[in-house]
Amino acid sequence: MHQALYRKWRPRSFSEVCGQDHITSVLRYEVAENRLSHAYLFCGSRGTGKTTCAKLLSKAVNCLDPHDGNPCGVCSACRAIDSGATTDVVEMDAASNNGVDYIRDIREAVVYTPADMKYRVYIVDEVHMLSSGAFNALLKTLEEPPSHVIFILATTELHKLPATIISRCQRFDFRRIPSSVIVDRLKHISDAEGILIDDDAAAIIAKQSRGGMRDAVSMLELCAGGRERVTAEAVSESLGVSSRELVAELAAAIADRNIGECFSVIGRAENSSVDISVFWQTLTEFFRDMIIIKSFPRGGGYLELTASEEEECRRIADSYTLERLIANARELDDCGARMQRSSSRRRICAEMSAVRMCDDSLDDSLATLTARVSALEERIMNIKSAPQSTASEKPAAKPVEAASVPKSEPAPGVTVKKAEERAPATAAEPPAAAKKAFTAISSWPEVIDRISQKNKAVSSFLTGTVAMSDGDRYMIRVKNAFAMSMLEKPETLALIAESLGSVVGSGVTPGQVIIRTADAPKKSGGDILSEFN
């Protein structure tokens, strides 16, 4: 009968357990020095070695010839435990045996000495599934069991255990196994089983296993079935993992705001063997990788990516600002939640989300508004840093000659005065003062932050607004008339003026602050709003 690879390659000693050296070293020491605890608690995510270590410990404490804390595997006790022929090692599944009656049976049985072993070992898997009555019945026995009894409790949900149970056990936390360790183990098993596997394929399996060795070995067996060589494409097809190339194409299309290409990529993902929700989760992880690379230049070492994958991720991340990446990641997460609620509309959810990420004006969330403000600030800085071209002076306009008028003789008795005699000499009038142009206030986000510390309601009306100044006046363009009415209150204007003054470094009075709406019509002439527009 065929035996699954994860059972066939289950570690037979503590030395073979991968990625849990902080636990196996302690267990080996306790066995070698005969300093055993009466109760152990193994907690951690699935496939990290909890049940394996429990079985190894039950063999090690009963082994007739242990080697450095490891069971020998050849003595009568080890062989009896491996074959399940002994009644002194009891494995119990608390998920199906969670009533108080089962614990009462254990309480009655622990008083008897082992039949043919040194210790009677009770392995209770998924112990968090026990009922409240069962936990209460176990307390006294767990605290003071007979000297020949050892309890080993295993759970994936430690938070569901009563504190009274946890405090009576020696607790060991099993960590998720690093991907590099899983890849090495998969290659070792593949070589022994005659399976040809590419490095990229092993890396994908390790990443999809989420730190669980059992899941990784099971995936390896699935992908190797009927194939001469396990490639990355074969793994993606067998596990239903979306192709990274397809994910990268969609991320690049969103960066270019190419909605048509986004629809094309989503359509190809929908028509492939990959579930659209799995594809969307992979896209979310891709954006997470870009955020790490963008915010931490040396973040490539933190990510579990190959050299080519990291280079591709950096190239696409250069097309985004950090603020836009964060806004898109939130949109991806929200879309993923909507997909879970409505499985029949997953493609529609993905397409609508892609449109919103391509056109920021369709999303009024705070994260998107922050990204838009950041993009505007970057454009303003680029304009300021660009070399200014010197405009050539316009030639002076030629004086307009008066049309020649035929001279007429003055009427009799009328005295004609010269022009200089008719107009009294006056001082030349100074030219009108040049109009001051409004410029954007680059420190406006800092002003909003200061206002938020004092009055969050006022700052909410200022979120996403634009502020400009001509040196004397401070113009704020808000979203609508309601926001303008709320901000034009005397106490609100005083708060804005105070915060402006503290940031720009000069005194600002409420009279210098002018509130205008973004949808107000432009006016001609000397209207302030026309200058602002």
Comparing 408 with 355, which gets the higher pLDDT? 355
Residue ranges, comma separated, of all CATH 3.30.300.180 domains in the chain are 439-532
Q: Quick one: angle between helices 244-255 and 276-295, nearest 10? A: 60
Please provide the DSSP assignment of 239-292 as one string.
HTPPPHHHHHHHHHHHHTT-HHHHHHHHHHHHHSSS-HHHHHHHHHHHHHHHHH
Structure tokens at 366: 């705070």
Q: Render pLDDT for 195-251 as a digit per residue (tens, 0 to 9).
A: 888 888 888 888 888 888 999 999 888 888 877 788 887 887 777 666 678 889 999
Structure tokens at 397: 């306009």
Residue 418 has pLDDT above 50, yes or no: no
What does the pLDDT read at residue 364? Answer: 67
Structure tokens at 498: 């105070």
Residue ranges, comma separated, of all CATH 1.10.8.60 domains in the chain are 179-239
Q: Positive or negative CA dihedral for 299, 303, 307, 308? A: negative
Nearest Cα to Cα of residue 505 among 470, 471, 465: 471
Residues recorded for the chain: 533
What does the pLDDT read at residue 483? Answer: 78
Residue ranges, comma separated, of all CATH 1.20.272.10 domains in the chain are 250-362
CA distance 72 to 65: 6
Residue 406 has pLDDT above 50, yes or no: no
Buried b vs exposed e over 352-378: b needs ≥16 C-beta within 10 Å? ebbbbbbebeebeeeebbbbbbbeebe
CA distance 122 to 439: 77
3-state secondary structure 97-160: CCCHHHHHHHHHHCCCCCCCCCCEEEEEECHHHCCHHHHHHHHHHHHCCCCCEEEEEEECCHHH
Residue 335 has pLDDT above 70, yes or no: yes
User: pLDDT band at 374, cuts 50/70/90?
Assistant: confident
Residue ranges, comma separated, of all CATH 3.40.50.300 domains in the chain are 5-174
Q: Render pLDDT for 303-321 as a digit per residue (tens, 0 to 9).
A: 777 777 888 888 999 889 8
Candidate CATH numbers 3.20.20.150, 3.30.300.180, 3.20.20.70, 3.10.20.30; the one for domain 439-532: 3.30.300.180
What does the pLDDT read at residue 107? Answer: 87
The least confident of 105-109, 292-296, 374-378 is: 374-378
Backbone phi, then psi, for 12, in 5-degree steps? -105, 0
The amino acid at 205? I
| Cβ–Cβ < 8 Å for 217, 5 | yes
Comparing 405 with 158, which gets the higher pLDDT? 158
What global pTM score does this model have? 0.59
What does the pLDDT read at residue 296? Answer: 79
CATH class of 179-239: mainly alpha
CA distance 124 to 131: 13
What does the pLDDT read at residue 531? Answer: 47
Strand 196-197 to strand 170-174: parallel, antiparallel, or no bridges (unpaired)? unpaired
Mean pLDDT of the residues in the chain: 81
Q: Would you call 379 helix, strand, or coil by DSSP?
A: helix
Comparing 192 with 342, which gets the higher pLDDT? 192
What is the number of H-type helices and E-type strands within the chain?
24, 11
What number does CATH give the domain 250-362?
Answer: 1.20.272.10
Structure tokens at 232: 């990355």
| Cβ–Cβ < 8 Å for 250, 39 | no
User: pLDDT band at 437, cuts 50/70/90?
Assistant: confident
Q: Render pLDDT for 61-103 as a digit per residue (tens, 0 to 9).
A: 999 888 888 998 889 899 999 888 888 898 988 888 788 888 8
What does the pLDDT read at residue 529? Answer: 46
Q: Positive or negative CA dihedral for 7, 13, 16, 19? A: positive
User: What is the arithmetic mean of pLDDT over 128-156?
Assistant: 89
Rg of the chain over all Cα atoms, to the nearest angstrom: 39
Percent of the chain with pLDDT over 90: 21
Residue 18 has pLDDT above 50, yes or no: yes
Q: Render pLDDT for 25-46 as a digit per residue (tens, 0 to 9).
A: 999 999 999 899 999 999 998 8
CATH-assigned architecture of domain 5-174: 3-Layer(aba) Sandwich (3.40)
Q: Positive or negative CA dihedral for 515, 519, 522, 523? A: negative
What does the pLDDT read at residue 124? Answer: 92
Structure tokens at 395: 């030639």
CA distance 528 to 184: 71
